[in-house]
């Protein structure tokens, strides 16, 4: 055996051991893609073989191959759908109807995790927020966005979807304007239990209003924070910078687990008024974070998008690595929503959040639902807003 072959074998064993243990045999069987970083060409076939003994024929690393890969993933998912899912929207997106957080036990958590990461890369939750809560939220947004000078601020237009208003400092504002409404949004037991199932412990990275104006155009297809290279000054719109600062392994095997996005439908939404459009199963395409910037790949995703259909108060949760975009509003009425960027406990959130001010405002407001929190619930809510690290070693260590 040559040294290159020995190196390939060692890498194959290493990568095979690193496969997520939650993969069921049926989902592992369709994980037929090279796992080795680019530049380790000799290792890739060995790694794939080690990972998938009964895998279907490997698909090509080209547009046709990517479509085949997604079709294989969809077929496997449809054959073995999550048992507790109420239905699969578009035959792909599992929707769950959880009435009480106590339902989300360890088995349910494992099911949600597998359905999300091994499946379509997204899931829906029915009836999480009461219509009355959503109406209150919409009225609050209207007061800001339609009030005097409301939309004048530079940071109140979405940087990549010009026909969309945003309220970025929602947490800070709402903690002053309507603390009990804020508690409804950030202390929903079902929502938080599902997010904890996906992230271990969910912390809030950002909460922003996304209001697509009447007749607003759709957004460009993209993936999300922290690798939304087309958005955010740090990336300088440079996929090369992203590749310099990450390994291929991180792109495909670490960062998909780091952050989760959720859109809360404060208005019911579908294809007509610009609901979120996504390509189910696209998070399985190797190197998607990079490819989405290649014109040929970008074009190959057209025709694969589906629009989510959400009732008022439903939630659509999606993998940050899923190809998606804000939809086109064909109506003369706005489409409003609240988008949450959630990140695991050890990750950096998308926005700077003034957690001390928010928690102080909630406490000082006398808000009944905040005052009623048990010490454990208060500790959890605090942790969702405020990281325990880094520690200040000038104070203690
Ligand atoms: O508004 C939506 O439906 C999705 C928004 C989105 O993907 C974004 O703003 O990056």
What was the pLDDT predicted at 57?
59
Kindly give the distance from the C-alpha atom of residue 375 to the centroid of ligand 1, in angstroms, as a whole number.
35
b/e per residue, 288-306, with b = 16+ CB within 10 A?
bbbbbbeeebeebbeebbb
**283 Cα–ligand 1 center, Å:** 16
Q: What is the pLDDT of residues 24-41, one digit of tens each?
A: 333 333 233 232 333 333
pTM score, whole prediction: 0.85
Q: Which of 380, 276, 369 is nearest to 324 (CA)?
A: 276
Instruction: Specify the pLDDT at position 55.
Output: 53
- Ligand 1 site, residue 276, Cβ cutoff 6 A: yes
What are the beta bridge partners of residue 318? 122, 261
Question: How many percent of the chain have pLDDT more than 70?
Answer: 84
Per-residue pLDDT of 377-396, as tens digits, reads 999 999 999 999 999 999 98
Quote the ligand 1 centre to 210 CA distance (angstroms): 7
Predicted local confidence at residue 152, as pLDDT: 60
Regarding the beta carbon of 210 and ligand 1, being less than 6 Å apart is answered yes
Q: Which helix (H) or strand (E) holds 369?
A: helix 368-371
Q: Sheet harboring 306-307: ordered strands across?
A: 306-307, 277-278, 324-325
CA distance 260 to 343: 6
For the stretch 174-196, pLDDT in tens is 999 999 999 999 999 999 999 99
What is the Å distance from ligand 1's center to 347 Cα?
A: 21
For 331-338, what is the mean pLDDT? 98
Look at residue 63 and tell me whether its pLDDT is greater than 50: yes
Question: What mean pLDDT do residues 308-328 have?
Answer: 97
pLDDT-based confidence at residue 42 (cuts at 50, 70, 90): very low
Sign for the CA dihedral angle at 244, 248, 253, 256 comes to positive
The answer to whether 145 and 139 have CB atoms below 8 angstroms apart is no
How much distance in Å is there from the Cα of 325 to the middle of ligand 1?
5
**308 CB near ligand 1 (under 6 Å):** no
- Residue 326 in contact with ligand 1 by CB distance below 6 A: yes
Task: Residue 364: name the closest of 176, 191, 235, 98 by CA.
Answer: 176
pLDDT at residue 49 greater than cutoff 50:
no
Give, using CA atoms, the residue closest to atom 9 of ligand 1.
Answer: 326
- CA dist 132 and 54 (Å) reads 51
DSSP codes joined into one string, 19-84: S-TT--HHHHHT--S--SPTT-TTHHHHHHHHH-TTPPPPPPSSHHHHHHHHHHHHHHHHHS--TT
For residue 276, the CA-to-ligand 1 centroid distance in Å is 6
Per-residue pLDDT of 228-279, as tens digits, reads: 888 888 999 999 999 999 999 999 999 999 999 999 999 999 999 999 999 9
Ligand 1 pocket: which of 157, 228, 263 to mutate (most atoms within 8 A of CB): 263
* pLDDT, tens only, 283-298: 999 999 999 999 999 9
How confident is the model at residue 58, as a pLDDT?
A: 74
Residue nearest to atom 5 of ligand 1 (CA): 326
Index of the ligand 1 atom closest to the CA of residue 335:
1
With a 6 Å cutoff on the Cβ, whether 92 touches ligand 1 is no
Per-residue pLDDT for 79 more than 90?
Answer: yes
Cα separation, 70 vs 104, in Å, equals: 29
pLDDT of residue 14: 33
For residues 158 and 66, the model is more confident at 66
CA 384–ligand 1 middle distance (angstroms): 22
> Which residue ranges form the domains of the chain, and what is each CATH number?
3-58 (no CATH), 75-385 (2.60.120.620)
Q: Is 263 in the pocket of ligand 1 (CB under 6 A)?
A: yes
Structure-model confidence comparison of residues 312 and 35, the more confident one: 312
Closest ligand 1 atom to residue 324 Cα is 7
Direct distance between the N- and C-terminal alpha carbons of the chain, in angstroms, rounded to an integer: 51
Angular region, 233: left φ>0, alpha ψ -120 to 50, beta rest: alpha
The minimum-distance atom of ligand 1 relative to the CA of 210 is 1
Pocket-testing residue among 326, 329, 337, 341, ligand 1, by greatest number of atoms within 8 A of Cβ? 326
What are the tens digits of pLDDT across the range 120-175? 999 999 999 999 999 999 999 999 998 876 666 668 888 788 899 999 999 999 99
């Amino acid at each position: 055996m040559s040294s290159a072959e020995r190196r390939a074998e060692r890498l194959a064993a290493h990568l095979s051991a690193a496969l997520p243990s939650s993969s069921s045999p049926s989902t592992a069987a369709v994980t037929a893609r090279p796992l080795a970083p680019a530049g380790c060409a000799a290792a890739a076939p060995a790694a794939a073989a080690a990972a998938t003994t009964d895998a279907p024929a490997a698909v090509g690393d080209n547009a046709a191959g990517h479509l085949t890969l997604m079709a294989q993933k969809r077929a496997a998912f449809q054959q073995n759908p999550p048992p507790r899912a109420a239905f699969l929207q578009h035959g792909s997106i599992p929707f769950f109807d959880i009435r009480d957080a106590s339902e989300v036990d360890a088995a349910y958590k494992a099911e949600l995790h597998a359905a999300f990461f091994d499946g379509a890369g997204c899931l829906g939750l029915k009836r999480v927020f009461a219509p009355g809560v959503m109406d209150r939220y919409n009225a609050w947004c209207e007061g800001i966005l339609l009030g005097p000078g409301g939309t004048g601020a530079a940071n109140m237009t979405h940087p990549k979807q010009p026909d969309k208003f945003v309220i970025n400092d929602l947490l800070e504002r709402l903690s002053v304007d309507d603390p009990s409404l804020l508690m409804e949004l950030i202390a929903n037991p079902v929502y938080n239990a599902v997010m904890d199932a996906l992230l271990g412990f969910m912390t809030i990275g950002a909460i922003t209003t996304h209001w697509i104006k009447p007749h607003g155009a759709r957004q460009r297809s993209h993936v999300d924070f922290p690798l939304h290279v087309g958005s955010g000054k740090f990336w300088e719109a440079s996929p090369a910078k992203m590749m310099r600062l990450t390994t291929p392994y991180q792109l495909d095997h670490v960062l998909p687990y780091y952050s989760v996005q959720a859109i809360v439908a404060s208005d019911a939404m579908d294809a007509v008024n610009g609901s979120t459009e996504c390509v189910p199963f696209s998070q399985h395409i190797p190197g998607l974070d990079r490819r989405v910037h290649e014109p040929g790949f970008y074009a190959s995703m057209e025709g694969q998008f589906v629009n989510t259909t959400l009732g008022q108060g439903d939630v659509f949760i999606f993998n940050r690595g899923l190809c998606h975009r804000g939809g086109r509003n064909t109506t003369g009425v706005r489409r409003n929503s609240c988008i949450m960027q959630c990140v695991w406990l050890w990750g950096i959130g998308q926005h700077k959040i003034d957690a001390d001010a928010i928690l102080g405002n909630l406490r000082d407001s006398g808000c009944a639902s905040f005052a009623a929190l048990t010490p454990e619930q208060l500790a959890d809510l605090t942790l969702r807003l405020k990281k325990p690290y880094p520690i200040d070693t000038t104070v203690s260590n």
